[in-house]
Amino acid sequence: MRHTRSHTANRRSHHALKSPALSKDASGEMHIRHRASLSGMYKGRSVGGDPVKKVLKKQGKKPVAKKAPAKKKAVKKAKK
């Protein structure tokens, strides 16, 4: 059954795109509501931590300190 133009327009009136709701946190940074900001802050606390550290904490293990990469020894080339 055919719809009139007015019925079609009434249905399409709800298809408009809405702009995202933005919030400003305590530091003045803008972010989408109910989402962490790009700096990893949400409701005044840091939530963007290291996921490996989180898993180790849950397992009751201590995180292993990373060692500095070993320096390569300079090899002198013998001249022929």
Asked if the structure places residue 71 within a domain, the reply is no
Tell me the H-state helices in the chain.
5-12, 51-59
Q: Rounded to the nearest 5 degrees, what angle is found at the Cα of 65, between the Cα atoms of 63 and 66?
A: 125
Looking at residues 49-66, what average pLDDT do you find? 69
Domain that holds residue 45: 19-58
Asked if the structure places residue 63 within a domain, the reply is no
Q: Which two tokens stand for residue 16?
A: 């408009």
Q: For residue 37, which amino acid is it? A: S
Q: Around 32, how many Cα atoms within 13 Å sit in the side-chain half-sphere?
A: 4
C-alpha separations of 36 from 26, 48, 54 in Å: 13, 8, 18
- What pLDDT, in 10s, does the model give residues 13-42? 999 998 888 888 777 888 888 888 777 778
Asked if the structure places residue 33 within a domain, the reply is yes
Look at the chain and report how many structural domains it folds into.
Answer: 1
Asked if the structure places residue 53 within a domain, the reply is yes
Asked if the structure places residue 67 within a domain, the reply is no
